[in-house]
A and B are shown apart, each in its own frame.
Chain A
């Protein structure tokens, strides 16, 4: 497979930078939502700040990509941006599906037989009353030693 890219043809700008901005925006939006909802006092204010910054990052990326009627010259090709967005979302969805498959298989596989390696016979032979008496004796001996 030829692993060459069209670098120099605006690829870094259209694919990488646009998705970088979207990534920052989504991460700030998500963390800001959580912090502003669950936080209290100063943390809540920081959360609101992060939320607003995230929304701004997404809006700026939108304005730089599509003709939004703001008079700003677009920096990213809208068709390429959509391809980049589809690839990013697809890869994330693939990662989530992969994780679910792994978790499902791990939960279905009977890993309890690892306990067979343990020698449970020793535990069965253990006389708990006797062990308790021994412990009491040791404790009594320690406490009498401290009093002296």
Chain B
């Protein structure tokens, strides 16, 4: 078992990097002038954070397992919302 703080910090960075990557992509594509520049900045920041977290001197197996857990949780959440929508629409 890995150090809990290591997992928490690395996954915190992964989460913020992911949101910055996705939001940066959207803002830089659909934004105009100043907003677009902000989007590109966020995109670059997201890439930099991703690079930092993957190149960190940290147990890669634990990191990949944490990513697996995160993907599982997200997928579970999506399945739950789909079940809710099916139940509401079918009624």
Contact = CB atoms under 8 A, between A and B. Distances in A.
Contacts of A96: 15, 19
Contacts of A88: 11, 69-70, 72-73
A2 B55 CA distance: 10
B79 interface: yes
Q: Could you tell me the dominant secondary structure of chain A's interface residues?
A: helix
Interface residues of A, number: 61
Interface residues of B, number: 55
A21 to B, nearest CB: 7
Interface of B: 1-2, 4, 7-20, 23-24, 27, 32-35, 38, 42, 54-55, 60-81, 83-84, 87-88, 91
Closest 10 CB pairs between A and B? A23-B76, A94-B15, A27-B80, A98-B19, A87-B66, A84-B69, A19-B72, A98-B16, A90-B11, A88-B73
